[in-house]
Amino acid sequence: MNNQSAEARVPLYPRSVKGSFRRFKNSILVIAYLVYYGLPWLPWSRSVGPDRAVLFDIIGRKFYFFGLVVQPQQMFWLAGLLMIAALLLFFVTGVAGRVFCGYFCFQTLWSDLFFKIEHWIQGERPARIRLARQSWNGEKFRKIGFTWLLWFAVAFWTAITFTLYWGEAGDLLRRFFTGEAPSAMYITVAVLTFTTFTMAGLAREQVCTHMCPYSRFQAAMFDKDTKLVAYDANRGEGIKGRAKMRKGQKTLDERHGQGSGDCIDCGYCVQVCPTGIDIRDGLQISCIHCGLCIDACNNIMDSLDWPHGLIRYSSETEAEGGKVRIFKLKSIGYALAIVIVTAVLGWSISHKADLETAITQTRQPLFVTLSDGSILNSYEIKLANQTTTEKQYSIAIRGLDDAELDTGNFSQLTLQPLKNLRLMVKVKRSPGDRRLNKVDDFEFVIKDDVSNQEAAVIPARFYAP
Amino acid sequence: MSNADEQNSKGPQTTGHVWDEDLQEYNNPVPAWWIWAFYGTIIFALVYWTLYPTWPMGKSFSKGMFNDITFVNDKGEEVTTHWNMRALFLKEQQTGEQALKQQEYLQKISDSSYEQIMSDPDKMAFVNSMAKVLFADNCGPCHGKGANGVIGLYPNLLDDDWLWGGTIDEVAYTINNGRKGYMPSFGGVFEKEKLESLASYVLSLSGIEGGDAARIEEGKHIFQGEEGGCYYCHTAEAKGMKSQGSANLTDKVWTIANVPGHDRYEEKLAAVEKVIVDGVDREMPTWKARLSKDQIKLLTVYIHQLGGGQ
């Protein structure tokens, strides 16, 4: 039997810590939660559509994002967004390690919040360990129960908030509690409440160490120049290894004289680690590079008046005394790719056409002979008004001198904001004695009647016997 | 894990059975999560058996509980039945989200006049998408999915030549009541020369060149005179009569004789002769009883605009 898989989880009670990385993480926490929980409620005024800044309207097939309204045919923007996200991850991971895991991953953010709740109710690490070891009594029931209750509340609100992105927030919330919401909402809330609670509250670091694929492949992106949270073994271990603070080992001079390193083996860096590893064992797959051990060690160094940086961001090259190269082929390549994708996406969004068109020629049959010998082709034209204003269009053809356009009663069209329309049109040519070409290219011209400009030109073909 | 520790310290655990003095079996129980998942499937099955039709019982079967389906059958009666896919499908068609949306549009079509439908691009878009399917299902077997018909058998509905009239009312009448197109057979009535003359005249009516002037003149005499009597139905101008469904012979559209399909004059002539000899006997069934009023309305507008109706 594989020993590793049989290893039972040792429950973790990370100690809280103060420091610059903790402050940085806190500010990300505040911003991320403000965005996540607040965004569905942010009002926004639009001439048509909902009065929310962000709303993903699946039924109406429109995705409102501040001033932008994204329709399904622009879904490839999402591909651009995902490409940017992936490239950014590759770039940052190459330069500074698992920055995403340590500071921005929702698993990290949510378990951090759950740790804070646990800490607030059950106290610091020793108190939590004591509580876990003691037998079930009133105090334990009360504290654990209250913790779980708060966790559940956070998980529930997290789940509710997720669903609020897909409808008008206030209305959806009211319907949720009056039992009138769609079953999809109840199912989503149930599933997300359960997963948030188990993942952030119970599974925690196991998600990073056992479930998450990113932790595995990010390590493959490190190189010698990647800055990682690392223990300076040369300084910490000295010649004879780390040593506790004992008599005769109290100052740096004394220690260096006896060959001991600067690490006083206080264990603070291990106690604060949210994944329960010892950073002094070197680079390991469980390390999410959150920087909390740096804060812990720096605090100890401060109290001893020793220099910072026994644990710090450093690279293999630095450890060997070399100089880190950030701008190497790999990172420049990723940066370039990010710039290109961002530029293409930006261009595509800013040059979004006001009128989207599509054309299908009737193929069965391609042409019809009419009673006077003229030839008829039919087309289905689809027009989609992408703007939030009402538009007036007229349709004409260009490129066939002898052709006549028949749009039924719709030579002029009014298109409501964000609406689309399918239209059957016919084109007739009277060849007289001439024989028509088997295929002729021509264009449909859609003109905006208000601005008097061409809104779209649709290439088409005319077939004749 | 204590289990793993135990095994590591004492060596592999065995079932305790020994055969042939030293043959033992390792005790490797399946993992707990697997066992629980297995129990889970048993519970799932029990719930499923309760809710859905499952077990055959003689000629019947267990019907399931708590999820009966109520729908309206084709006789208009409300039926409640045990859960089954067919009833679920019928119910979806009647009260499903999409069905309700379609009914809303159908109501609009039902409430509007033909003029209102044809001047509203939104309603026309609905007509085009729904009637396209209706047409392909009901009319397509003869007229073709694209309504281009089969020459000699079923009329092409895309051109502007209407045997029975191309106004909205006439198209609606045709769909509702069906049509019977008939031209008597003239087989054995004319001798070969006269038949050729008549066919030459018919070809000349729509401006097809290559005929002998004397023959055409003779054909005209037969057509317009009592010998052939063709003018009774096709009229003296040969433009046909809507009331009879008789074809306009002066235009470029051929419904029965496959003239456009042949290049040589003799072949075109033979195609026309064949129609004169064989006659025509075609029937379009009535659809009044098979389609709803709204469906016929949709089809009328659709067909009318396909052929650039009159």
- Locate the chain A residue with the closest alpha carbon to B253: A371
Average pLDDT (A15-33) is: 95
pLDDT of A3 over the 70 cut = no
- Stronger pLDDT, A278 or A417, i.e. the higher one: A278
* pLDDT tens readout for residues B33-65: 999 999 999 999 999 999 999 999 999 999 999
Quick one: tokens of A130?
């004591």
Is residue B8 predicted with pLDDT exceeding 60? no
Residues 6+ apart with CB under 8 A from B153: B142, B282
- Short-list A249, A271, A275, CA closest to A260: A249
A2-11, B28-37, B155-164, B206-215, range with the lowest pLDDT? A2-11
Q: Would the pLDDT of A107 be above 50?
A: yes
> For chain A, first and last CA: distance in Å?
77
Nearest to B161 among A3, A371, A424 (CB): A371
Give the CA-trace dihedral at A59, A420, B145, B96, to 10 degrees: 20
pLDDT at B2: 45
- Residue A18: per-residue pLDDT: 94
| Residue A103 to residue A108: CA distance in whole angstroms | 7
pLDDT confidence tier of residue A5, bands split at 50, 70 and 90 = very low
Task: Give backbone dihedrals phi and psi of B25, rounded to 5 degrees, phi first.
Answer: -120, 130
Task: Give the closest of B4, B118, B159 to A368, CB-based.
Answer: B159
Within 8 A of B160 by CB-CB distance, chain A residues are 370-371
Q: Tell whether the model's pLDDT for residue B294 goes beyond 50.
A: yes
Q: Which residues of B touch A378 (CB under 8 A)?
A: 158, 306
Within 8 A by CB and 6+ apart from A212, the residues are A107
Smallest Cβ–Cβ distance between B148 and the set A365, A413, A424 belongs to A365
CA B10 to chain centroid, in Å, comes to 76
- pLDDT-wise least confident of A1-5, A69-73, A150-154, B250-254: A1-5
Q: How confident is the model at residue A194 (pLDDT cuts 50, 70, 90)?
A: very high
Average pLDDT in the A6-16 region?
A: 80
In angstroms, the CA A380 to CA B128 distance is 10
Show Cβ contacts of residue B200 under 8 Å, excluding neighbours closer than 6 positions: B211, B212, B215, B216, B219, B269
**Is B253 in contact with A6 (Cβ distance < 8 A)?**
no
Report yes or no: B89 and B73 within 8 Å, Cβ to Cβ.
Answer: no
Residue of A nearest to B13 (CA): A1
Verify whether the Cβ–Cβ distance B146 to A363 is below 8 Å: yes
- What pLDDT is stored for residue A427 in this prediction? 93
Parallel/antiparallel/unpaired status of strands B14-19 and B23-26: antiparallel
- pLDDT at residue A50, rounded to an integer: 86
- Reduced to 3 states, what is the DSSP secondary structure of residue B236? coil
Cβ-proximal residues to A330 (8 Å cutoff; 6+ apart), any chain: A94, A223
CA distances from A140 to A143, A204, A444, B11 (A): 5, 21, 77, 39
Query: Distance (Å, rounded) from C-alpha B301 to C-alpha A44?
Result: 43
Q: Cβ contact (<8 Å) for B252 and A369?
A: yes
Once rounded to an integer, what is the mean pLDDT over residues B200-209?
90
What are the structural domain ranges in chain A? 1-352, 355-463
Q: Which of A8, A370, A424 sits opposite B305 (nearest CB)?
A: A424
How many CB atoms are located within 10 Å of the residue A102 CB? Answer: 22
Virtual torsion, Cα B184, B188, B189, B190, nearest 10 deg: 120
B7 or A195, which is more confident: A195
ipTM value for the complex? 0.76
User: Helix %, strand %, coil % for chain A, to 5?
Assistant: 45, 20, 35
Provide the pLDDT confidence category of residue A409 given band limits of 50, 70 and 90.
confident
pLDDT tens by residue, B235-245? 999 999 998 89
pLDDT at B9: 52
Let me know: does A175 contact A168? Beta carbons within 8 Å. no
Nearest CA of chain B to the CA of A184: how many Å? 15
For chain B, the average pLDDT equals 90
**Burial zone of B224 (CB within 10 Å; 0-12 exposed, 13-18 middle, 19+ buried):** middle
The residue of chain A with its CA nearest to that of B28 is: A1
**Spatial separation of the C-alpha atoms in residues B253 and A372, rounded to whole Å:** 8
Nearest-10 crossing angle of helices A329-350, A76-96: 160
Cross-chain residue pair B1–A373, CB shorter than 8 Å: no
Amino acid making up residue A396: A
User: If you average pLDDT over residues B198-222, what whole number do you get?
Assistant: 91
Q: Which helix (H) or strand (E) holds A398?
A: strand A391-398
| Among B118, B128, B248, beta carbon nearest to A409 | B118
Structure tokens at B78: 């409300």
Interface contacts A/B by beta carbons within 8 Å: 71
What is the distance in angstroms between the Cα of A369 and the nearest Cα belonging to chain B? 7
Report chain A's mean pLDDT, rounded to a whole number. Answer: 90
pLDDT band with cut points at 50, 70 and 90 for residue B30: confident
- Among A448, A454, A394, CA closest to A425: A394
Q: What is the share, in percent, of chain B residues with pLDDT greater than 90?
A: 66
Percent of chain A clearing pLDDT 70 (strictly above): 98
Contact A194, A280 (CB under 8 A): no
Q: Residue A413 pLDDT > 50, yes or no?
A: yes
pLDDT for position A273: 94
User: Helical H runs in A285-432?
Assistant: 292-304, 316-319, 329-350
- Mean pLDDT value of segment A252-262: 88
The pTM assigned to this predicted structure is 0.71
Interhelix angle B97-111/B293-306, nearest 10 degrees: 70
Backbone angles phi, psi at A303, to 5 degrees: -65, -25
Question: How does pLDDT run across B265-292, given as a tens digit for each residue?
Answer: 999 999 999 999 999 999 999 999 999 9
Which of A2, A9, A371 is the best substitution to test chain B (most B C-beta atoms within 10 A)?
A371
What mean pLDDT comes out for the span A31-35?
Answer: 96
Q: What's the average model confidence in pLDDT over A38-46?
A: 92
For residues A268 and A296, the answer to whether their CB atoms sit within 8 Å is: yes
* Span B92-107, pLDDT tens digits: 988 888 899 999 999 9
Q: What is the mean pLDDT of residues A24-49?
A: 93
Handedness of CA A298, A300, A302, A308 (dihedral sign): negative
pLDDT at A1: 37
Residue A383: strand, helix, or coil: strand
Contacts of A380 in chain B (CB under 8 A): 128
Is A377's pLDDT higher than 60? yes
Q: Do B144 and A364 touch (CB under 8 A)?
A: yes
Pairwise pLDDT comparison (B9 vs A383), residue with the higher score: A383
Superfamily of domain A355-463: Immunoglobulins (2.60.40.10)
pLDDT beyond 50 at A450: yes
The pair of structure tokens assigned to A29 is 């926490």
A163 backbone dihedrals φ, ψ, rounded to 5°: -70, -25
Q: Please provide residue A301's backbone torsions phi and psi, each rounded to the nearest 5 degrees.
A: -60, -40
Average pLDDT over residues A156-176: 94
